[in-house]
Amino acid sequence: MDISIMTVSIPLDGDTMQEVKELLQEDTENYDSLLSVHELTDFHLKGFCVLAYDDETDKLVGVLSAIDRLETGEFEWGAVVSPPIRKRGIGTGLFEELGRNLALRKATFDLALVPEESQVGREWLETLNYVHDFSERTMVARAEAILNCNEIEIIPYSKNESQLIEVLISAFGDSVEEAMNFIAFNTQTPNRKLMIATLENRVVGTVTIADDSDKLWVTGLGVHEHARGKGIATAMLNWAKNEAFYLGKETIYLDVEIDNDTALSVYEKVGFETIQHTHFYQKR
């Protein structure tokens, strides 16, 4: 089998997106989230896809997506090859083209994503000298109308930059520059809404919602260390479920690191259930 490999920048055109969707339907595992399929037509997303075609049939037989979501030079990538023709070097070809493109884009770091169920994928990454870094759960909850706690106000971010930066530094260990990049990304990217939680006129938490077609995603949820244990994370999650309901969504999603027991406990208490595990690998 002769294979042609090419790179295309995001956003993908309609025909290519249809080819990607047809390829993913060949697999029993769900790779939509892994490859960020619903974002590959977003003009504001920075990244690229590597495509592998069978020269004889002109059929797409492999795809790799690489995304620099915050435009910091740090890429997350995932790949899938048509199940009947795996272990024929197509994945290696995709990976070599990935490396060439990361070098061209002066990438500073890359993380590879692989689903829990893919033992073959994990073994393949290990042959490429990647090692496990951390794992995440994807969780889902039903959207529903919920009254928010009166003491904790959830409002769109518009000012209070210094207070929000304090929350981001405390909650995530960000530097000031990383916090400012986070704010810029979530305020300038369409379909994203950056919110802050205030208590006694002080910013104590933050959460972002991302509108993804029929789904709503929760991301960047954090609470200042001095304000924990006061129900702020619960209030923000309930606000997000309420927002999803009034936007006409049936479900709301989030990702969380598997070893974050405190966050997992909060999410489960407000109705989130685990539907997928994803492993993240970094170059040794």
Q: What is the mean pLDDT of residues 59-80?
A: 95
Asked if pLDDT for residue 54 goes beyond 80, the answer is yes
Q: What percent of the chain has pLDDT over 70?
A: 100
Q: How confident is the model at residue 237 (pLDDT cuts 50, 70, 90)?
A: very high
Cα first-last separation, the chain? 32
Residue 69 included in any domain: yes
**Band of pLDDT at residue 174, cut at 50, 70 and 90:** very high
Region 37-60 average pLDDT: 93
Has residue 273 got a pLDDT over 80? yes
Tokens of 98: 């990935």
pTM of the predicted model as reported, rounded to 2 decimal places: 0.88
Residues 206 and 270 in one domain: yes
Q: Among residues 100, 128, 156, which one ends one of the domains?
A: 128
Mean pLDDT of 75-79: 97
Last residue of a domain, one of 128, 161, 180: 128
Helix (H, G, I), strand (E, B) or coil at 40: coil
pLDDT surpasses 90 at 128: yes
142-154 per-position pLDDT tens digit: 999 987 767 899 9
The pLDDT assigned to 183 comes to 95
Answer yes or no: are the C-beta atoms of 3 and 11 closer than 8 Å: no
Does residue 270 share a domain with residue 220? Answer: yes
CA 89 to the chain's CA centroid = 28
Look-up of token digits 């592998």: 52
Q: How sure is the predictor about 214, in pLDDT bands with cuts at 50, 70 and 90?
A: confident
Q: What is the 3-state secondary structure (H, E, C) of 192-205?
A: EEEEEEEECCEEEE
pLDDT at 160: 86
213 pLDDT more than 80: no
Does 158 share its domain with 117? no
User: Is 108 within the bounds of a domain?
Assistant: yes
Residue 33 clears pLDDT 90, i.e. is over it: no
Whichever domain contains 47, its CATH number is 3.40.630.30
Position 147 scores a pLDDT of 79
* Per-residue model confidence as pLDDT tens digits over 135-144: 999 999 999 9
Q: How far is 123 from 171, CA to CA, in rounded Å?
A: 34
pLDDT at 231: 93
pLDDT of 12 strictly over 90: yes
pLDDT for residue 190: 86
Count of structural domains, the chain = 2
Enclosing domain of residue 11: 3-128
Q: In the structure, what pLDDT confidence band is assigned to residue 134 with cuts at 50, 70 and 90?
A: very high
Q: What is the mean pLDDT of residues 57-86?
A: 94
